[in-house]
Each structure stands twice: as structure tokens, then as C-alpha cells.
Amino acid sequence: MTVTTQLTFAKALNSALRRSLELDPKVVLMGEDIGRLGGVFRITEDLQKDFGEHRVMDSPLAESGIVGTAVGYALRGYRPVVEIQFDGFVYPAFDQIVAQVAKLHARSLGTVRIPMVIRIPYGGGIGAVEHHSESPEALFAHTAGLRVVSPATPEDAYWMLRQAVDSEDPVVFFEPKRRYWDKGEVDTERPPAPLHAARIARPGEHLTLAAYGPMVKVCLEAAAAAERDGLSLEVVDLRSLSPIDFPTLEESVRRTGRLVVVHEAPVFLGTGSEIAARVTERCFYHLEAPVLRVGGFHLPYPPSRLEETYLPDLDRVLDAVDRALAH
């Protein structure tokens, strides 16, 4: 039976956490203000009321302590899901994540598992103040031992979070905060795609646009605009940043002959750099133009009144498309 509901991205995440709490008594949630308040973005709204303070725990303002405590829970057989309130707040916990969470399985020669999820609202577009609009995903994707994912639609938000909670490995779960209020269809009964599989969000013939998280919607808008000029752009939603589903992406590039990678994070040493290098190595004889990248600038995230200049938009994506097609 198909059960399809219209949900916002935020409500889809809330529903996924609720279902995980219902199905597994070992699932616990931790984070600043996630209990009585329901989180800054209300992702955990009503969960403490329904499941109790012993499973939905308000923590002190100490990100390193939150993640460190969650490691202890994971070692004792629980499945902790921690919320980092904003992307720029994750850095105090960076040592715990890359030195402990990512390495305990290898350090123990495979005898220890750390099944935990680190939820991080990330990216810009909400007019926030300093430290509230970062894109640190490349830091974690670079670290072996972590799975790193970022959904772009409410349905993926629901299913990917469910799958992340069920994973035996630690998952860094990046949530595009500017998409929290976007609505979409969510089928809570369909078999989900594998957690790390990319998807073809829009088929096309002349060029591939690869994106994830907040930029998938921008790329779909760019493809719709290009269609009015007679261009057919394929949009690949990567969904996962570690591992990356290169076979799906490479198959697309072999058909279109061109690739533009789009993300909010700075272009310099960003995820797009690895994608460009790998696709160039594996699809060299199919490429009709160099792989191009569109992203943020290599500077600290600007004040909110300037963020629209900093963030990739429709015009910057279409400019890269034009440059790729000029070859």
C-alpha cells in the first residue's frame, strides 16, 4: 500500500526521528534545546513530550561534550542521534568526530562499532549571523571512517535519516537549512534507494549538472531555464558525499559529454575538486569540455546582506553551462 503525504523538509526529518524512536528503544536523541523547545528549527518538536527526557535529552552548550557522550552511548549499544545546532558550531566537536568517532572501528580492528548520527543544519540562504551559515562538508568527507550524506528533498530527508540511524557506521548528516520549509511528497512505505546511491533528478542530453543538498533545486531551476533555449540538461542529485556514487555520475557524463559541479561550499579544495578529478580520469575520452565547478568564494562567509552575492545562483550556474557548451 502506498502512503504518500505532503510534508515540509523539516517535518519529514521529524517524522523519521519519531519512527526510529518507535521502532528501536536503543535510539536516543541529544542536543542543545532539542527537548522542550524542539530545536531551533523544530526538527525534534514534541519528541521529548512523547518519548521522555531519558530518550530526547537537552544537553549543555558543549558540542565536544555532546559528541563525546554520544560515543559512550554508542559503545554501550545505543544508537545516538546528536544535533549540532548550527554548522559553524561543529568545530569544537571536530576533534571528537575525526579522532574518535571516525577511527574507533579501525582502531579496534573491527570489533567496535559506532552507530551514531551527527545531524548538522548547514549552508546559507536564511540571513543568519556569523557562524550560522557554513558549508564544512568537505572536512568530514575527507576523513576516512565517516559516511557523509545530504538529502535534497523531503522524501530523501525522511528515508535517508531513517537509513542513517540504522547504519552500523557513523553518519554525518548534513541538512540544507534553507530547504527546511520546502514541501514535497513523502512515501513512507516505498522501499528506499540505497543510502549512498545518486539519483537522476532530471534526465537530459547536452550537459550534466551534479549537485547535492541545497543546490539541487537551483540546478533544476537552471535546467528548466535552459530548456527554454533548446538545451537539455541532466541533473544528478549526488545525495552522498562519502562515498560518492561515481558509477551513476560517470554514466551520465559519458552520455552528455560535459559536467558542471555545483555546491555552496568554496570551490577551492571543495567536493567538486575531487569529483572533477575523478570524472576527468575515468571519462577523459568522453568529455567534450573541461569539468567546471560553481561554488562559494574562498573567503569567510559574508554578512547576511551580502550572502546572495556569495552563494551560487541561477545566473552563475547558467554561465558555467554556457562556458562548457562553448567548447
The total domain count for the chain is 2
What was the pLDDT predicted at 190?
A: 86
Q: Is 286 a catalytic residue?
A: no
- Sign, CA torsion 99/270/154/208: negative
Same domain membership, residue 181 and residue 121? yes
Q: Which of 187, 217, 244 is the last residue of a domain?
A: 187
Domain shared by 222 and 123, yes or no: no
DSSP H helices in the chain = 9-23, 47-51, 63-75, 94-95, 104-107, 137-141, 154-166, 215-227, 246-256, 271-283, 307-310, 314-325
Query: Does the residue 1 lie in any domain?
Result: no
| In-domain check, residue 299 | yes
What CA–CA distances, in Å, run from 65 to 11, 61, 68, 94?
Answer: 27, 8, 5, 11
pLDDT at 2: 58
Report which residue type is found at 134.
E
Q: Tell me, what CATH number does 218's domain have?
A: 3.40.50.920
Catalytic residue among 105, 131, 132, 286: 132
Q: What predicted TM-score, i.e. pTM, was given to this entire model?
A: 0.96
Name the nearest CA neighbour of 15 among 45, 41, 36, 35: 45
246 and 287 belong to one structural domain: yes
Residues of the chain whose pLDDT is less than 70? 1-2
Q: Which three cell numbers stand for residue 270?
A: 571543495
- Are the CB atoms for 209 and 233 separated by under 8 Å? yes
In a domain, 193, yes or no: no
Residues 183 and 64 in one domain: yes
* Per-residue confidence (pLDDT) for residue 4, from 0 to 100: 83
Check whether residue 76 and residue 218 sit in a common domain: no
Whether residue 94 is contained in a domain is answered as yes
Q: How many CB atoms sit inside 10 A of residue 163's CB?
A: 22
Domain boundary among 187, 208, 239: 187
- Cα torsion angle, 241, 243, 245, 250, sign: positive
80, amino acid identity: P
Q: Is residue 37 domain-shared with residue 96, that is, in the same domain? A: yes
Answer yes or no: do 172 and 256 share one domain. no
Task: Tell me the residue range of the domain where 99 lies.
Answer: 7-187
Cα 203 from chain centre: 22
